[in-house]
Amino acid sequence: MMDDYNLSFWIYLAVVTVLVGGGIKKILASHLSTGPTLVVWLGATVLVERLWAFCLPAMLLLVLLALICYIYLRSRTGPPPTLPVQGKAVFITGCDTGFGNAAAKCLDSLGIDVFATVLDLTGDGARELQKSCSSRLTLLQVDITKPQQVQQALLDTKAKLGLRGLWGLVNNAGVCVNLGDAELSLMSNYRGCMEVNFFGTVSVTQSFLPLLRQSKGRIVNISSPAGDQPFPCLAAYGSSKAALNLFTETLRHELQPWGVKVSIIQPSSFRTAPSSNNNYWEQKHKQLLQSVSPALLEEYGEDYMTETINLFQSFTKHANPDFSPVIDAIVQALLSPQPQARYYAGPGLCLMYFINSYCPFSIRNRFLQKIFLKKTLMPRALRKQSDQEVNHGLHNNNNEEKLQQL
């Protein structure tokens, strides 16, 4: 029965599957009405069907489809439409370094009134913002895990806005306080990540939502692919981002009747100040070695735990130092007439999510291991077990040889 289907049939089936699957995925992910979008994708599918019916060679069909996509993309090369910035104000958390610091500078240069929170008003990041930004920028000292400071920031923002609402909230503040196997991560590490990445973000969002509803504005949450995919050694961080992702998706549905649009940004690997601070991670590693129980330390081995931190530091050295993909996504989410629900900022993310969504588990698992921490050591207990099995096998082989000689 399989012989009745030639290669061209399977190519045709793959093309149609991609078209239909892509159409359904876009319909589910977009805010556009389902009817017109479905008609367009069904029309494209029928077009492929008719072309194939006229015996168009498979390779020529693929070239035609590639040409259509190229013309379509070329027609959209102009800058995407944006809303006017006059009178708009945006509140950004975590502006000491990294994405928050760069986003505050960019939005200020566009003419937006920026409220930038920092942990240290006398730190390098705060001083840099004061020097490089206009007088419109307002610096606020805020630890988002402390409700009193969040409420004081709300009062200060209201006082400066007057009767205006707040157009945008960018929840950027986040931490990764631990790197290691889930079993080796202390409960304080899990709580530390959740306090900042999830509970702190929820606290800020709830506090500023009345201002955002007043202006029918935007919420932009900076998350991580670690919240969608099980990156090894990032259990504490990934769990907090997974909670943030679900909170964001729920918020997007709930705020739609209010006219508030909610977006989430998934950055790829970027060389931010916290992740590239080797002294910080070495200090965390020493604390972990001192805090983990002697039994666990014996099971895993200090060399195994040291390799993890060394691999992470090597990984961050090759991370992208250019934040522009993330900053561009933040600007689009704030100023696009129809912002996307999700923005994938940085190279390689589309491939990563495609593999995670459509490939078998074994391929997904191997892909994650190849792109992140490429461990060479097993935990000490497993190494001992493996050595014992090898020695046991050699002993049995020697016994069999002696019996054969007898």
Burial class (CB in 10 A: 0-12, 13-18, 19+), 260: buried
- Amino acid at site 270: F
Asked whether the beta carbons of 357 and 367 are under 8 A apart, the reply is: no
Among residues 300, 185, 281, 289, the alpha carbon closest in space to that of 233 is found at 185
Backbone angles phi, psi at 185, to 5 degrees: -75, 130
Our answer to whether residue 304 is catalytic in this structure is no
Q: Is 267 helix (H, G, I), strand (E, B) or coil?
A: strand
Asked whether the beta carbons of 223 and 264 are under 8 A apart, the reply is: yes
Backbone angles phi, psi at 258, to 5 degrees: -80, -10
Q: Give Dmax (Cα) for the chain.
A: 100
Strand partners, 118: 141
Asked whether the beta carbons of 368 and 353 are under 8 A apart, the reply is: no
Task: Exactly one of 12, 190, 237, 344 is catalytic; name it.
Answer: 237
Q: Which residues are catalytic?
A: 237
